[in-house]
Amino acid sequence: MKALVGVKWVLDFSVKVRLKSDGTGADLAGARMSMNPFDEIALEQAIRLKEAGAVDEIVVVSVGPRPAADILRRALAMGADRAVLVRSDAPVEPLGVAKALKSLVERDGAGLVLLGKQAIDDDNNQTGQMLAALLGWPQATYAAELAVEGNVATVTCESDDGLETVRLTLPAVVTADLRLNTPRHISLPNIMKAKNKPLEEIAPEALNVDLRPRLKVLRTDEPAKRRAGVMVASVDELLDKLRGEAKVI
Amino acid sequence: MSILVLADHAAGALQPSTARVVTAARQIGGDVVLLVAGQNCAAVAREASAIDGVARVLLADADALAHQLPEALAALIAELAPDYDAILGSSGLVAKRCLPRVAALLDVMQVSEIIAVVAPDTFRRPTYAGNAIETVQSTDSKRVLTVRTTAFAPAGAGASAPIETISPGPSGDTRSSFVGRSSTGSDRIELGSARRVVSGGRGLGSRESFDKLVYPLADKLQAAVGASRAAVDAGYVPSDCQVGQTGKVVAPELYLALGISGAIQHLAGMQDSKVIVAINKDPDAPIFSIADYGLAQDLFEAVPELIAKIG
Ligand SMILES: Cc1cc2nc3c(=O)[nH]c(=O)nc-3n(C[C@H](O)[C@H](O)[C@H](O)COP(=O)(O)OP(=O)(O)OC[C@H]3O[C@@H](n4cnc5c(N)ncnc54)[C@H](O)[C@@H]3O)c2cc1C
Ligand SMILES: Nc1ncnc2c1ncn2[C@@H]1O[C@H](COP(=O)(O)O)[C@@H](O)[C@H]1O
């Protein structure tokens, strides 16, 4: 079975976003970019499934500008077999990405699509669900455990008050939550080996998808700043403030 | 204008988030219709019919909708969609896993986690872990939105809207089936709607300390228990306690952060709390930059003293 993994090129999680002063959005010039952390988890899971014999080929896909190829090379070094960059220099939205992924699934075939639960830049949390709908496949989101046996995936998912397990008949889309696994480190020999793995660049038109956004971002602002508070010297002083000043206890 | 709101319910009870989504729907304007979908949920529909500003409640009660699995639920909503200009859900996981599916079936781009309604087609939403606020306008003919419930006050409950039973739509998708559920700490105050939250981080050092310090303080304050990702990863608490960019977003009257450094991913889930208190032994911890009251002290001294001195 072939597994397809979607990876997004995003501002590194350890960097605080800088906004352009004219309200036109994030200033990413020179900023450290990396693979969306949830996608690394999704990819790690695909690699484990391959090691266990449930998957025989892993295709990683990113929809983004040319530098996004960096994370695809990283994915190849981690253990993916081949990579596809769907080239888009303008920002993309989940609906467009889902259409591109669907088109690749139809072109190349896949029994399982693994995505992250959310991209940490736009915080949309939509792409996996949209892709499942477009393909007419079942879905499991926020996966904390995943087991594949034959054409059945058993997925334990995070819910609002605990965990919920569902059984899906493949093909299906699964999105990864934080505690699905801990991604492996990439070794130097694997980085070298990855240089010979295929990385294809393709235009969205070749997939017959329209990536033009449906949402117009009118402006992007800083959030309201919290007023700086005070430091207290003792538990007694803290309780005084909470009772007298803040009146919250 | 007509708006369909997906009601949140669990264990036979309406969730408080629903009344908050109704407030967002009323700000968009138009007839607000609530959809209660599930199995044996007539009592939920009765509760829902009391929410102020609701014109009608649709009750879809069917085996195929048990556990509100997204495949069947999305198919039902997509079938109802032609009658509505906007479809709204909460930031709970049932809505979050279902509504993007609906949006794709309708070929519409969803706007996730709105915090303000600027115009019927224009909304504000946080991105980059709450470090940027986007104002976005939808160009689609229909809107699909999830609502960050902490940003909207709940609508009142004095109405009695008519309840209409509808046919439950397409039968369930047999390629997806429910196996089981394990819920944690159901006797505790629910984190998402709690008035007070006590959260613990890696600074607690062990599950035993978390049990010995965080829960008793929360009990004294009648507060819900939250945690940082580090505390969840270390196994101090179950994952549904995680507060943050990728966990729950809370905005209680009082948020107490114990042994939490204040990474941006954590702040994203609690920075709209009314009063923030931080106890951390490192006076330079970033959490102090957003705390109303900071105490730079060892929590193993401060917390037992707090527990003892709160009436
Ligand atoms: C994709 C992604 C998503 C994430 N999502 C979330 C999220 O949703 N929520 C979240 O919280 N994090 C999230 N994180 C993790 C986040 O970046 C931080 O790693 C995490 O919040 C740190 O948790 P912490 O503050 O408990 O631990 P630390 O950063 O290790 O801080 C522990 C603090 O405890 C203090 N301390 C230690 N001992 C004591 C003592 N005896 N008394 C008093 N203070 C003491 C220390 O001074 C320190 O400040 C995410 C990260 C990634 C990459
Ligand atoms: N541009 C993209 N290229 C590849 N995969 C993506 C892209 N955008 C989103 N995804 C996938 O969809 C998941 C959810 O993203 P989102 O719906 O944007 O929060 C991510 O974790 C990725 O796995």
- Per DSSP, A19 falls in state B
Using a CB-CB cut-off of 8 Å, the residues of chain B touching A210 are none
Cβ count within 10 A of residue B258: 27
Instruction: Give every CB contact of residue A23 below 8 A, 6+ residues apart in sequence.
Output: A219, A220, A221
Residue B170: its pLDDT value, please?
65
- Contacts of residue B26, Cβ cutoff 8 Å, sequence gap at least 6: B32, B53, B155
Interface of A with B in 209-248 (CB under 8 A): 213-223, 226-236, 238-239, 241-242, 246, 248
The letter for the amino acid at B228 is S
Q: A28, A120, A123: best mutation site toward chain B, by most B Cβ within 10 Å? A: A123
Pocket test for ligand 2, best of A13, A45, A85, A115 (most atoms within 8 A of CB): A115
Flag whether A247 is in a domain: no
∠ Cα A140 A143 A147 (to 5°): 85
Distance (Å, whole) CA B101 – CA B281: 46
pLDDT in tens, A7-42: 999 999 999 999 999 999 999 999 999 999 999 999
CA dihedral A172, A173, A179, A182 (to 10 degrees): 90
CATH 3.40.50.1220 for domain B191-310, yes or no, is: yes
Q: Which of residues 158-177 of A touch B (CB under 8 A)?
A: 158-169, 172, 177
DSSP B243: B
β-bridge pairing B122-127 and B54-61: unpaired
Candidate from B100, B127, B176 with C-beta closest to A138: B176
Superfamily of domain B2-165: HUPs (3.40.50.620)
Tell me the CA distances in angstroms from A35 to A185, A193, A195, A248, B54, one per residue in order.
14, 20, 18, 42, 44
> Is the CB of residue B260 less than 8 Å from the CB of residue B199?
yes
Cβ separation A169–B175 shorter than 8 A: yes
Nearest CA to ligand 2 atom 7: A8
Query: In this structure, is residue A118 part of a structural domain?
Result: yes
Is the distance from CB of B17 to CB of B92 less than 8 angstroms? Answer: yes
**% chain B with pLDDT above 90:** 93
DSSP per residue, A117-150: S--TTT----HHHHHHHHHT--EEEEEEEEEEET
Q: Is residue A233 domain-resident?
A: no
φ/ψ of B118, rounded to 5, equals: -95, -40
What's the total number of domains in chain A? 1
ipTM of the complex: 0.97
Chain pair A-B, CB pairs under 8 angstroms: 251
- Distance (Å, rounded) from C-alpha B119 to C-alpha B123? 7
B256 and B220 in contact (C-beta within 8 Å)? no
Spatial distance between the Cα atoms of B106 and A225, rounded to a whole number of angstroms: 38
- Interacting residues of B202 by C-beta distance below 8 A, sequence separation 6+: B228, B230, B231, B234, B259, B260, B261
Measured CA to CA, the distance from residue B159 to residue B25 in angstroms comes to 16
Residue pair A27/A137 in contact by the 8 Å Cβ criterion: no
Measure Cα distances from B138 to A195, A218, B86, B117, B224 in Å. Answer: 42, 10, 11, 12, 36
pLDDT (tens digit per residue) in B133-191: 999 999 999 999 999 999 999 999 999 999 999 988 666 678 999 999 998 766 788 89
**Atom of ligand 1 at shortest distance to CA of B261?**
49
Instruction: Tell me the pLDDT tens digit for each residue of B244-262.
Output: 999 999 999 999 999 999 9
CB-based contacts of A73: which residues, under 8 Å, 6+ apart? A83, A194, A195, A199
Spatial separation of the C-alpha atoms in residues B232 and B254, rounded to whole Å: 21
Structure confidence at residue B184 (pLDDT): 74
Instruction: Indicate the residue of A26, A131, A160 with minimum beta-carbon distance to B128.
Output: A26
List the single residue in A124, A214, A226 with the smallest CB-CB distance to B138: A214
State which residue of chain A sits closest to B92, comparing Cα positions. A160
DSSP reduced 3-state for A112? strand
> From the CA of A196, how many Å to the nearest CA of chain B?
35
Which chain B residues are Cβ-neighbours of A131 within 8 angstroms?
Answer: 104
Instruction: Give the number of other Cβ atoms within 10 Å of residue A176's Cβ.
Output: 30
Cβ(B253) to ligand 1 under 6 A?
Answer: no
**List of residues 6+ apart from B13 with CB closer than 8 A:** B43, B44, B47
Tell how far the Cα of B304 is from the centroid of ligand 1, in angstroms: 21
- pLDDT tens sequence for chain A (249 residues): 999 999 999 999 999 999 999 999 999 999 999 999 999 999 999 999 999 999 999 999 999 999 999 999 999 999 999 999 999 999 999 999 999 999 999 999 999 999 999 999 999 999 999 999 999 999 999 999 999 999 999 999 999 999 999 999 999 999 999 999 999 999 999 999 999 999 999 999 999 999 999 999 999 999 998 887 999 999 999 999 999 999 999
Report field, pTM of the whole predicted structure over 0.90: yes
Contact assessment for residue A95 and residue B103, using Cβ atoms and an 8 Å cutoff: yes
CATH of the domain at A101: 3.40.50.620
Look at A162 and B134 and tell me if their CB atoms are within 8 Å.
no
* Chain region(s) in chain B for CATH 3.40.50.1220: 191-310
**Cβ–Cβ below 8 Å for A138 and B107:** no
* A47 occurs within a structural domain: yes
Domain that holds residue A154: 2-224
pLDDT of B65-121, one tens digit each? 999 999 999 999 999 999 999 999 999 999 999 999 999 999 999 999 999 999 999
Q: How far is the CA of A6 from the centre of ligand 2 (A)?
A: 6
Q: Is residue A244, in this structure, part of any structural domain at all?
A: no
Distances (CA, A) of A106 to A134, A207, B139: 11, 10, 28
Only one residue has tokens 């915080």, namely: A123
pLDDT tens per residue across span A81-117: 999 999 999 999 999 999 999 999 999 999 999 999 9
Residues touching ligand 2 (Cβ under 6 Å) are: A 6-8, 36, 38-39, 42, 61-64, 92, 94, 97, 115-116, 118-119, 122, 124-128
Assign B85 to helix, strand or coil: coil
What is the dihedral sign for C-alpha B240, B245, B248, B253? positive
Q: Which two tokens stand for residue A74?
A: 């990283």
Residue A237 lies in a domain: no
